[in-house]
């Protein structure tokens, strides 16, 4: 039996990272881990408990009271995140969380906490994890790394369609401003900034369908001699 590996998918906001990661995990029978959901769940906890992001002592105290885990939903078959035993998968997708998550994720103690959880999950391999610093900081030795990009206008439209169902009052301008803010913070933060790992393969899916981006990733995996179970 070929050993399982770790596949990392990093990239800019709304590039379709989670979609591809879910596709690959399903195809390989791997566990999908949404690292962004971790930071969103932490942000939700901070908002609920009025944690001041300038107060390092309060931040450390808060993190000691946070437990994060992923469970596979019996209905969707997808992994969903639980915050202290509560399923918050859908709550964390709100624009309020999106507006705060990059600020919270940039905090040194928060990143240290999340990376520790992520690395523990990856100890047994067999995972596909997407995020901003997975291939550079969390799993620098991952066997396969993908870095996703797409034109900003396409990313804005994708995020708008995703969020409109939950918030019909949202505007394209609001979504565009949020994406630009997150991109700037994520790529300029002091701790683990968003960047392409030297050994990552870039995937521009501006004009690709979901099937085409999966085909791209499968071709990449087939080049890796350690991969088993990747069919046509």
Q: pLDDT, tens digit, for every residue of 114-166?
A: 999 999 999 989 999 999 999 999 999 999 999 999 999 999 999 999 888 87
84 found inside a domain = yes
Please tell me the pTM assigned to this model. Answer: 0.85
Q: Indicate which CATH number applies to the domain containing 83.
A: 3.40.50.300
Which alpha helices (H) appear in 32-125, and where do they start and end? 35-48, 56-64, 95-105, 108-121
Q: How many residues does the chain have?
A: 232
225 found inside a domain = no
- Strands 68-72 and 79-83, bridge-based pairing: antiparallel
Q: Would you place residue 227 in the very low, low, confident or very high pLDDT band (cuts 50, 70, 90)?
A: low
151 found inside a domain = yes
231 found inside a domain = no
Note whether 129 and 9 are within 8 A (CB). yes
Note whether 156 and 176 are within 8 A (CB). yes
Chain position carrying tokens 């046509």: 232
Domain that holds residue 102: 6-218
158 found inside a domain = yes
Question: DSSP labels for 162-211?
Answer: HHHTT-TT--HHHHHHHHHHHHHHHHH-SSS-----TTPEEEE-TT--HH
**Comparing C-alpha atoms, which of 78, 87, 95, 207 is closest to residue 162?**
95
Give 92's DSSP letter.
G
Q: How many domains would you assign to the chain?
A: 1
Distance CA 53, CA 227 (A): 42
């Amino acid at each position: 039996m070929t050993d399982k590996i770790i596949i990392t998918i990093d990239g800019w906001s709304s590039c379709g990272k989670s979609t591809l990661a879910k596709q690959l995990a399903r195809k390989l029978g791997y566990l999908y881990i949404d690292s962004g959901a971790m930071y969103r769940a932490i942000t939700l906890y901070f908002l609920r408990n009025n944690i001041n992001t300038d107060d390092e002592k309060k931040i450390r105290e808060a993190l000691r009271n946070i437990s994060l885990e992923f469970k596979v939903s019996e209905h969707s078959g997808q992994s969903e995140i639980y915050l202290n035993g509560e399923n918050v998968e859908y709550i964390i997708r709100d624009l309020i969380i999106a507006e705060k998550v990059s600020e919270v994720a940039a905090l040194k103690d928060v990143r240290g906490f999340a990376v520790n959880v992520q690395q523990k999950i990856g100890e047994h391999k067999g995972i596909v994890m997407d995020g901003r610093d997975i291939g550079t900081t969390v799993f620098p030795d991952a066997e396969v790394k993908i870095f996703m990009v797409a034109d900003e206008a396409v990313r804005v439209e994708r995020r708008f369609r995703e969020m409109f169902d939950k918030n019909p009052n949202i505007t394209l301008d609001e979504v565009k401003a949020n994406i630009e803010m997150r991109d700037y913070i994520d790529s300029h933060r002091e701790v683990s900034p968003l960047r392409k790992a030297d050994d990552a393969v870039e995937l521009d899916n501006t004009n690709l369908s979901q099937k085409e981006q999966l085909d791209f990733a499968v071709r990449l995996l087939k080049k890796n001699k350690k991969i088993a179970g990747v069919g046509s």
